[in-house]
Amino acid sequence: MRLSSFFMPTLKETPTEAQIVSHRLMLRAGMIRQTSAGIYAWLPLGHRVLKKIEQIVREEQNAAGAQELLMPTIQSADLWRESGRYDDYGKEMLRITDRHDRDMLFGPTNEEMITDIFRTFVKSYRQLPLNLYHIQWKFRDEIRPRFGIMRGREFLMKDAYSFDIDPASARRSYQKMFLAYLRTFARLGLKAIPMRADTGPIGGDLSHEFIILAETGESGVFCHKDWMDLDVLKNAPGFDDDLQPFFDATTAIYAATDEKHDAANCPVGEADLVSARGIEVGHIFNFGTKYSKPMNAVVAGPNGESIPVEMGSYGIGVSRLMGAIIEASHDDNGIIWPDSVAPFNVGLINLKVGDSETDRVCLDLYGKLQAAGLDVAYDDRDERPGAKFADMDLIGVPWQLVVGPRGLKSGVVELKRRATGVKEELSVDAALAKLTA
């Protein structure tokens, strides 16, 4: 992508309304624009990152055996009345009446709708286990939306729903999603700690939140200091293996949200206990027959008996993840994206647009890098070098390849790693080989 034609409205000054780092940097980098309280338009740069995060989430769900579908944002209130949640959910639910005076709502979650889909088509235990997921926009009418996309009213979520014949099978489905979440966050360059958590309005008796430690976190969390350096996936099993030992070993290391932490009876001594702020990026629930019984989601068992299915729900805040990554990975100059989700892999900086040799080398590199499958941000704008460097640091491109007349006279270009700031001078061929290795 040539930056001379790329819509990237960066800002030099920090917007006054932005209170936390991720909000400030997303606005300054031209990734989002607020359209109303807690609702944002995703501009091209932000949208590129959002889609890459979404794809990693999708790949790990598929690897765990979940199947993707897509449910609508607008739901019938009748389904929520069946489950008993319509009147219980509160003002966070946006209730709508259509032109035929039917009660509708903008879905904050999808337990009722997926249960209705399931009960319509699945009739036998032989069709289980089943895990269905979608990635869809949600709306919750937060009373005080703040912190940009971290606590907005409209947000992108991955929701998965498991259906099993008995509690033992449901626990295995829960453990598969537990592992899938750890794998997902690791691929995103994040240390997400699974913590026992309250189930809230979703319901159920088993729940874990996946928490990123950050000073700007919305809630207090507690964990054993061993979590700080733990490679939780070092000896992780595959999805087809026995997951119980891994699940037991991982959850045995103390970690709890504020609501679940009992200071008087904490099993961890004060010297080993870490108290911090955390950002929730995922939440999983095992809620048994909370929805299947009232909504009559039953299957015929081995002896023909009618059995309400055991269910679980598994959410990841896809759009929120972008803010969490920035909170965890930035410096004074801007964002430091992990390679896996960066909007571009390489920022190619032409220091003197109009110089024939510099233009020639840049165009040659641009073509070869793209041919190698890399996303390239080619800064061919007629701007000062300082402005180009500042923008590349701000938007967080992992590699910066700098080409200018002075370096070319000596036969070299400069390659900079954004995360470390380390620069090296290499021949054009050597730089190309390193980036395409």
The pLDDT-based confidence of 205 (bands split at 50, 70, 90) is low
Percentage of the residues of the chain whose pLDDT score is greater than 70: 98
Q: What is the pLDDT, as a whole number, of residue 68?
A: 98
Nearest to 89 by CA among 97, 76, 101, 80: 80
Candidates 18, 23, 30, 54; CA nearest to 188 is 54
Architecture of the domain spanning 3-335: 2-Layer Sandwich (3.30)
Q: What is the pLDDT of residue 199?
A: 59
> Which residues of the chain does CATH 3.40.50.800 include?
346-436
Compute the half-sphere exposure of residue 275: CA atoms within 13 Å on the CB side of its CA: 10
Burial bucket for residue 173 (CB in 10 Å: 0-12, 13-18, 19+): buried
pLDDT in tens, 56-71: 999 999 999 999 999 9
pLDDT band per the 50, 70, 90 thresholds, residue 16: confident
Average pLDDT over residues 11-27: 90
What is the predicted pLDDT for the residue at 259?
A: 87
The answer to whether residues 297 and 114 touch, using CB atoms and an 8 Å cutoff, is no
The mean pLDDT of 186-205, rounded to a whole number, is 80
Flag whether pLDDT at 151 surpasses 90.
no
pLDDT number for residue 90: 86
Q: Tokens 């509690």 sit at which residue?
A: 167
The pTM is what? Answer: 0.95
* pLDDT reading at 201 higher than 90: no
Q: Look at residue 55 and tell me whether its pLDDT is greater than 80.
A: yes
Q: Where in the chain is the domain with CATH 3.30.930.10?
A: 3-335
Give me the pLDDT at residue 219, please: 85
Q: Residue 202 has what pLDDT? A: 54
CATH of domain 346-436: 3.40.50.800
pLDDT value at 13 more than 90: no
